[in-house]
Amino acid sequence: METFFQANRYLHMTAGFIGFFVAPVALAVRKGGGAHRTWGRIFFWAMTVAGTTALLGAGHIHSLFLLLTAIFSLYMACFGYRSLYLKHLAWEAKVVPFDWAVAGLGLVVFLGTVGYGVVVRNIPVGVFGVLGATTAARQLRGYANAGRWTKNQWLLNHISGFMASYIAAVSAFSVTSLHFISFPYNFLWPTLLGSPIIAWWHRRVSAKGITLAPSAGLSGSPARGLHR
The domain spans of the chain are 64-226
Mean pLDDT in residue range 14-29:
89
Q: Give percent of the chain above pLDDT 90.
A: 48
Helix (H) or strand (E) holding 10: helix 2-28
Mean pLDDT in residue range 207-219:
48
What is the model's pLDDT at position 224? 38
Q: Give percent of the chain above pLDDT 70.
A: 91
Choose among 172, 132, 166, 195: nearest CA to 47. Answer: 166
Structure letter (DSSP) for residue 96:
-
Assess whether pLDDT exceeds 50 at residue 222. no
- Indicate yes or no: pTM above 0.85: no
Mean pLDDT in residue range 31-36:
85
Choose among 99, 166, 163: nearest CA to 136. Answer: 99
Mean pLDDT in residue range 91-101:
93
Band of the pLDDT at 187, cuts 50, 70, 90? confident
Band of the pLDDT at 208, cuts 50, 70, 90? low
